[in-house]
Amino acid sequence: CLNLCPPPPEPFGGGNDLCLIFLTSLYFSSRVWHAGHSGFPASFRHTWLSQERAAADGLEEQDALIQGKTQALRELYAKVNCNNQMLQSYANYMSSANATSTLRELYRLVDTHNHMLQSYANYVSNATATPAAQPLPGPIPPPRSQAVTSSEFRPNLPERFSGNMKDYKGFLFHCRLLFQNSPNSFSTDYKRITFILSQLTGRALEWAQARFSSDVSLNCSYSDFISEFSQVFNQETDQTIDSHALFSIKQGNSSVADFSINFRVKAAASGWNQSALKGAYFMALNENIKDQLATLDEPATLEELIRLTIRLDNRIRATNSSKPRNLGSLSASLPLPVQASHSGEMEVEPMQVGHTRLTPEERQRRFLSKLCIYCGEGGHFIASCPAKSKAWARQRI
């Protein structure tokens, strides 16, 4: 629109003609300029002014947003610096106390705060460079602590001890298992002693009440308490007594599997060597198991002998259970066959039917000496004994 206006008149240099021309040009220029500016449409002027105001308002809002974020960043810096100072104080204290694990945890927390601060700083920097407003990111969740507290494995509580001396070792053994698997719960002597006292009953509880009636604080160490507790209720067994028990133990009506458990318990307390334990175990077995062992090679160790006798006993019991039960009554009702007498006297064999059986001592001697149970000679066993074969051949004749 300004281009429609004529150029300004030349400067007035004097003269009547020139004066008239100057005034005419000035008047014409002012009219054209006024007509040009008054000729803009009102809607155009209104739109242009609205755009200018909106641009100005947008700049003001962006400036206010940047100032607010800058202020939030300053406050965050102040909080982080305060936390860093506090954490550094704790770190210095814990470092003097040689708490390495706690110090590492504190340093990890400092790194977490630094990462959060860096994230907010990057966001504010991007918001300053970008005109459009962007939503603030959510707070960064702190990482999980690496220190995982493992739950303690705790065995069952022992049965309450009544003062029976044979139950003392088992009770104390169970208590020690509980203490070793729950060190945090029983970290002091006082806790261990009070737990043992809480599991007493009967005569043992009466002793505890008399012992600690005037000293509730239990002014003694755990080792001193166990020593005194053992003197009262622990019956120390002599190995001689355990050795005598090995001589008197017998299988009886028990299965070999059940009997072997009792034998192992007494054998562990006897202090005997493997050879002596094998002999004692063999002597304690029933006669039918010994007869089965006589036909087999001798096992090298006690464990092999026990496993072998368990298999033999299981086989014998399975065979007996499958036999009919009425054979005994049927055979009793049948007449006995008449045996023909022979004029010649039969040769006496060591284990001939009807003669005296070997004594247990002689049977054990032959078994340990690896001699034939039937004839007492070496170099073979009863399964391949020639004397036994001859005896059975004469009986069939």
135-162 confidence digits (pLDDT tens): 444 445 444 444 434 456 778 888 999 9
What gap in Å lies between CA 105 and CA 114, rounded to an integer? 14
Question: For the chain, how are helix, strand and coil distributed in percent, rounded to 5?
Answer: 65, 0, 35
- Of 210, 197, 187, 216, nearest to 158 by C-alpha is 197
The model's confidence at residue 127, banded by pLDDT at 50, 70 and 90, is: low
DSSP run (H or E) holding 55: helix 42-96
Strand partners, 161: 200
Structure tokens at 297: 């090679």
| Helices 274-284, 239-248: inter-axial angle, 10-degree rounding | 40
The model's confidence at residue 296, banded by pLDDT at 50, 70 and 90, is: confident
Phi, psi of 301, deg, nearest 5: -125, 170
Please write the tens of the pLDDT for every residue from 19-44: 566 566 665 555 544 545 455 566 66
- What pLDDT score was predicted for residue 89? 73
The CATH number given to 241-320 is 1.10.1200
What gap in Å lies between CA 278 and CA 293, rounded to an integer? 13
Among the ranges given (92-106, 226-240, 289-303), the one the predictor scored with the smallest mean pLDDT: 92-106
Phi, psi of 233, deg, nearest 5: -115, -5
Identity of the amino acid at 202: G
Please write the tens of the pLDDT for every residue from 242-294: 677 788 889 999 999 999 998 998 888 788 888 889 999 999 999 999 988 88
- What pLDDT score was predicted for residue 380? 78
What gap in Å lies between CA 75 and CA 77, rounded to an integer? 5
The model's confidence at residue 336, banded by pLDDT at 50, 70 and 90, is: very low
**CA–centroid distance for 210 within its chain:** 41
What gap in Å lies between CA 144 and CA 205, rounded to an integer? 48
Say whether pLDDT at 5 is over 70.
no
185 neighbors 152 (Cβ within 8 angstroms): yes
Contacts of 193 (CB under 8 A, 6+ apart): 218, 220, 222, 225
* Distance set, CA 43 to CA 3, 37, 48, 51, 324 (Å): 21, 14, 9, 12, 124
316 neighbors 292 (Cβ within 8 angstroms): yes
- What pLDDT score was predicted for residue 325? 59
Pick 116 or 40 by higher pLDDT: 116
CA quadruple 86, 88, 91, 96: dihedral positive or negative? negative
Averaged over 309-326, what is the pLDDT?
Answer: 83
What gap in Å lies between CA 293 and CA 308, rounded to an integer? 9
Say whether pLDDT at 46 is over 80.
no
What gap in Å lies between CA 372 and CA 358, rounded to an integer? 12
Contacts of 366 (CB under 8 A, 6+ apart): 358, 372, 373, 376
Averaged over 354-375, what is the pLDDT?
Answer: 75
Averaged over 310-338, what is the pLDDT?
Answer: 67
- What pLDDT score was predicted for residue 51? 74
Please write the tens of the pLDDT for every residue from 225-242: 999 898 888 876 556 666
Q: Highest-confidence range of 31-35, 279-283, 337-341, 343-347, by mean pLDDT?
A: 279-283
What gap in Å lies between CA 187 and CA 260, rounded to an integer? 40
Contacts of 20 (CB under 8 A, 6+ apart): none
The model's confidence at residue 295, banded by pLDDT at 50, 70 and 90, is: confident
For the chain, percent of residues with pLDDT exceeding 90:
17
Strand partners, 200: 161
